[in-house]
Amino acid sequence: MDLYIILGLERSATLSDVRRAYRRLARKYHPGINPGDRNSASVFTRVSEAYQVLSDPEQRRQYDSRGGLTDALPESSFEFQGFDFSGAAEGEAASTFGDLFADVLRADDRADGAAADGTDLHLSIRISFNESIRGTERSVTVARLGRCDTCEGSGVLRMAAGRCAVCRGTGRVRWVRGHMVFSR
């Protein structure tokens, strides 16, 4: 469990905030005040452990750098001096792993970037609140993709020994509409 949550604190809490929270909870859950109450004794133990870590600046720094893990990671004899692992990846840095292995992880994507046959089409349509309650019908026009009429999907003109000017020898015609790429 998160030690900050146990003491009811934000991660930005000062040492005096930690002490104040500990004193308040220790008075409430101390076994001497609640004799025989196992739940209070258990809560007091957790509050004491949280205070022990968060009141010591070095232990608190280690706790924060591990992302809140206390005993889950064994102590390492190898030290990473000079490296700061406390920062979390956000924004572009967070997507580095996915970008690096995007080609490998998306094995079902086509090499030419076209969508695989049978994939779902998605469309966003705005409807009013009343339409969402009562239901509505809307017409949607979807362009059906077919073969290149000039070379019939072969990528080669029958009359000439060159490449098809429409599909450039791929056997597929591609066009872009906004952020969507269509091919046939």
DSSP string, 113-176: SPPPTTPPP-------HHHHHH--------PPP---TTTTTSSB-SSSSSB-TTTTTSS--EEE
In a domain, 9, yes or no: yes
Res. 38 pLDDT band, cuts 50 70 90: confident
Average pLDDT taken over every residue of the chain: 74
Query: Is 23 a residue whose pLDDT tops 90?
Result: yes
* Domains: count for the chain: 2
Domain range for 40 is 3-65
More confident residue, 153 or 92: 153
Helix (H, G, I), strand (E, B) or coil at 180: strand
Query: Is 82 a residue whose pLDDT tops 80?
Result: no
Q: Other CB atoms closer than 10 Å to residue 65's CB: what's the count?
A: 13
In a domain, 75, yes or no: no
> Which one-letter DSSP state was computed for residue 91?
G
| Cα–Cα distance measured from residue 25 to residue 48, given in angstroms and rounded to the nearest whole number | 9
174 pairs with which residues across the strands? 183
pLDDT at 40: 86
What proportion of the chain, given as a percentage, has pLDDT over 70? 62
Q: Taken in order 111, 173, 146, 149, is the CA torsion positive or negative?
A: negative
pLDDT at 109: 47
Res. 182 pLDDT band, cuts 50 70 90: confident
Which whole-number Å values give the CA distances from 47 to 20, 30, 83, 100, in the listed order?
12, 10, 31, 43
Query: Each residue of 96-130: pLDDT tens digit?
Result: 555 555 544 444 445 555 556 667 777 888 889 89
In a domain, 135, yes or no: no
Boundary of a domain, candidates 65, 96, 111: 65
